[in-house]
Structure 1
Amino acid sequence: MQSNEAPVSMEVEAVPSKPSSASAALPPKPIFEPLKAHEMSDGRVQFRKVSVPPHRYSPLKKVWMEIYTPVYEQMKIDIRMNLKGRKVELKSRADTPDVSNLQKCSDFVQAFMLGFDVIDAIALLRMDELYVESFEIKDVKTLRGEHLSRAIGRLSGKGGKTKFAIENATKTRIVIADTKIHILGSFANIKVARDSLCSLILGSPAGKVYSKLRAVTARLAERF
């Protein structure tokens, strides 16, 4: 038996929801000041020591103020020369703005000790993507006697012509200290300069290295 009553439809009226008083009464978000360098290290003072080679002692005395001024005034790092231990000592301060400043200053002083000019080494303080790479001629090829002397001569060129050409093409700075080679620059540029120097050590003529260097630097310029 079926019922003849029609189903009753219920209409529900939508009532706009009011914001809860709890969410409206939330306090504003706290604003925390960034931690200072000495607070990140729990107030501990950090040190770095850089040894001074005998042949860099006199040049260091001549340009001491050029090294001291940016380290102390701009990077807010204490620096002194320990005459007894022949070391440059660096120390963080309470007003050091960044924890990385101490390491940057240490790299800057170390670059000068390796033979770079202050004008070139100071770029390590201002740019983050620069670093120094070092290697020896014997790491590339074992050479002795006159063969080693000729390899060093090929690296420098007449009057330093070859070294300057590689520096200008790769935007790096190169120091050739006896059998050790130090390169200051960015990662990609150091790789190009190192490849060119290794080719010279292995006996490639300078003309061939120049042509290859021009091709590689042209590709790098297109990429960036």
Structure 2
Amino acid sequence: MAHKSHRHKALQSQLEPQPALSLVSTSTTKSKKQSTTSMDVDDDDNSVLINSTSGPSTTAAGAAGGSSSGFAPLPASSQSTVLKNEFRRIPIPAHRMTPLKREWVNLYTPMVEMLGLQVRMNVQRRAVELKTSGHTVDSGAIQKGADFVKAFSLGFDVNDALALLRLDDLYLDSFEVKDVKTLHGDHLSRAIGRIAGEGGKVKFSIENASRTRIVLADTHIHILGSTQNIKIARDAVVSLILGSPPGKVYAHLKTVGARMKQRF
């Protein structure tokens, strides 16, 4: 009988409603009361609304034009990307000094008017000196001017080298005959003759087909053009150095020229 009464008490204790447990501890409640941020709890959708006390001050600082770090913004003059007093010196070979003096007006005029550079010819050092000024706007102006003078010193015409100032995708590529194949004596002379052709016909054909400009300076070959066009001209010159007949190179250039016309 005692066993039954004990069992009855256990079942009765399970059926009685238990008090609700609070998930928020007293320490958490105290910390919420001490914090400066006020929180409103809505019982219907259990959403928490946080009203930050730092909102109005941040908005006021943004409206005043100041940065979040507290420092004033930089002036427009300090944000310029042009380096002041940037200087370049381009050496000129001895055999190009006379053409440089003859074409000096055509050389420094576009660099001063288009790029805003200060240009000077240093006869003692055999060099052309470039310097940025207050009229220089483009950060790459001095590099363009250096490439322009470098192209003229390698033997390119002024009008051809002027394209380096007007276009951004033109480059210079230089290599030697010995970089392709080691040749000496008459073999080297015949290789250079195959590149030039009779009266320069082969060189002109390569230039017209690849839309580049080529300069033959002894064993050095300089090519001016875009990256893709330089590759086409270089492949043709390499084939001539290795001994391919000009007729075979003409046929290959004709095929490549037809592809370029279809592409553009």
TM above 0.5, one fold? Answer: yes
Q: What per-residue deviation string (whole Å, max 9, x for no partner) do you get for residues 107-163 of structure 1? A: 000000000000000100111100100000001111111111111111000100000
- For 1:17, the equivalent position in structure 2 comes to none
CA contact (8 A) 1:36 1:95 kept: no
1:85 CA displacement: 0.9
- For 2:88, the equivalent position in structure 1 comes to 48
- For 1:85, the equivalent position in structure 2 comes to 125
- Between the aligned partners of 1:104 and 1:69, the Cα distance in structure 2 is 14
The yes-or-no answer on 1:207 pairing with 2:207 is: no
CA contact (8 A) 1:52 1:86 kept: yes
Match 2:193 to one of 130, 149, 153: 153
Same amino acid, percent of matched pairs: 55
The yes-or-no answer on 1:112 pairing with 2:157 is: no
- Between the aligned partners of 1:114 and 1:82, the Cα distance in structure 2 is 18
Letter in 1 for 2:225: G
Letter in 2 for 1:75: L
SS of residue matched to 1:164 = helix
- For 2:225, the equivalent position in structure 1 comes to 185
Instruction: Please list every run of 5 or more consecutive structure 2 residues that lacks an aligned counterpart in the other structure.
Output: 1-54, 67-72
1:21 CA displacement: 9.4
1:222 CA displacement: 2.4
- Between the aligned partners of 2:222 and 2:241, the Cα distance in structure 1 is 15
The yes-or-no answer on 1:221 pairing with 2:261 is: yes
The yes-or-no answer on 1:97 pairing with 2:142 is: no
Letter in 2 for 1:191: K
- Between the aligned partners of 2:213 and 2:238, the Cα distance in structure 1 is 16
- For 2:166, the equivalent position in structure 1 comes to 126
Matched residue count: 212
Letter in 1 for 2:109: T
Q: For structure 1, which segment, 113-122 or 24-33, has the greater mean C-alpha deviation from structure 2 after superposition?
A: 24-33
The yes-or-no answer on 1:65 pairing with 2:105 is: yes
- Between the aligned partners of 1:110 and 1:152, the Cα distance in structure 2 is 23
1:23 CA displacement: 11
Letter in 1 for 2:80: L
Q: What per-residue deviation string (whole Å, max 9, x for no partner) do you get for residues 67-121 of structure 1? A: 0100112110111011111111111112210110000000000000000000000
SS of residue matched to 1:181 = strand
SS of residue matched to 1:49 = strand
Alpha-carbon RMSD across the aligned residues, in angstroms, is 2.6
- Divergent runs of 4+, >2 A: 20-34, 220-224
SS of residue matched to 2:138 = coil
SS of residue matched to 1:199 = helix
Instruction: Please list every run of 5 or more consecutive structure 1 residues that lacks an aligned counterpart in the other structure.
Output: 1-19
- For 1:169, the equivalent position in structure 2 comes to 209
The yes-or-no answer on 1:139 pairing with 2:179 is: yes
TM-score by length of 1: 0.83
- Between the aligned partners of 1:177 and 1:196, the Cα distance in structure 2 is 17
1:221 CA displacement: 2.8
Q: For structure 1, which segment, 213-222 or 71-80, has the greater mean C-alpha deviation from structure 2 after superposition?
A: 213-222
